[in-house]
Amino acid sequence: MSDPVDYITRLRAEAQNPDREGAFRADRQRRRLRRASVGAFAALALAGLATWLVTSTGERPADEPYAAAALDERLWPDAWPATTNLPLRGSPARTWATDAQDLPLPVPAAVGSLSRGQVSEGLRRAREFVVAANLDRVVLRGGHPAQALELLDPQQPARARLTEHLRAPGLPDGDPTEMFTRFDPAELTLADEGIRVRGRMAFEAGSIPGQLRIRADYTFVYALRRTEPLSEPGPAPDTEEVARVVVRRQLVLLYAPAGSPGVTAGKLVPADYRRQLGNHDCGTVDGFVHPYFSKEAKAADRPWPVVDPYDESTDIPAGPLRCTVPSRT
């Protein structure tokens, strides 16, 4: 323990120090600055949180990117654009199949004069066609859907008609997107992990002996980014926006394992095909699907009905493509 006499001597010396008041003032100033800094930081944090809450509850424009850089991207409001980091963020399709082999087929059974094995082969061919027309990477990058066309019966007019539409796309009824999903490689490229698909098939005996009638209903979701170097900035620094497209297709395909006049054995005949494209500029007919990015969608004049592109409860209307505005992608 210190000597009491020494302690009292030090106190007297400090009291007589001419710089004593200045040291006290400097110490008080430092404490005030520390308190002010802590308060300002807390205020900024609360302001950022409050602003995000206001934004996410819709009291400000839904796409106003407040505090995006400070918020984990998985927690961003769904109204903010998805990015290449999480291309399926906020989409119900994020848990769907990513691979063609994950698409289930119905359990085959003999129908009419067709055996169980023949029905199984017809279903397999139908799935091959759906995949070749909508999931083949070459086709998605704008390539010619040769494999899909090869599965179609060359003796039937549908194959020649689709080939002509691919060669010379245009209005009123020459739009290749009626059957094939393709994107212009000069403008767009698929984001990593940016494809999802869900669907189902059913089958029954065809209207003529030895024919199988297959009904297919599939929904595809694609996340796309601008082809470099024209990337689209995301809502936070160092993020790149993706545009999502939802394509639903309903097909009726006929399959006959044995040949008959005018029919090629083992080939498919598309008897009916309908499509609904969510987030597509349907005023452009050049053989490609053209999605809107967020700024384009906000500025575009789209006087069309708003629909949920994920709604599979009703059939797609027959006839030419009906322009719609997706409520979500």
Q: Pairing mode, if any, of strands 306-307 and 325-326? A: parallel
**Cβ(245)–Cβ(289) below 8 Å:** yes
Dump pLDDT digits (tens) for 258-280: 877 788 999 999 999 999 999 99
Dump pLDDT digits (tens) for 287-303: 999 999 999 988 888 88
In the three-class reduction of DSSP (H, G, I as helix; E, B as strand; rest coil), residue 77 is classed as coil
Secondary structure (DSSP) of 135-160: T-HHHHTT---HHHHHTB-TTSHHHH
pLDDT band at residue 94 under the 50/70/90 scheme: very high
**Cβ(200)–Cβ(312) below 8 Å:** no
The model scores a pTM over 0.95: no
**Cβ(275)–Cβ(248) below 8 Å:** yes
DSSP assignment, residue 179?
T
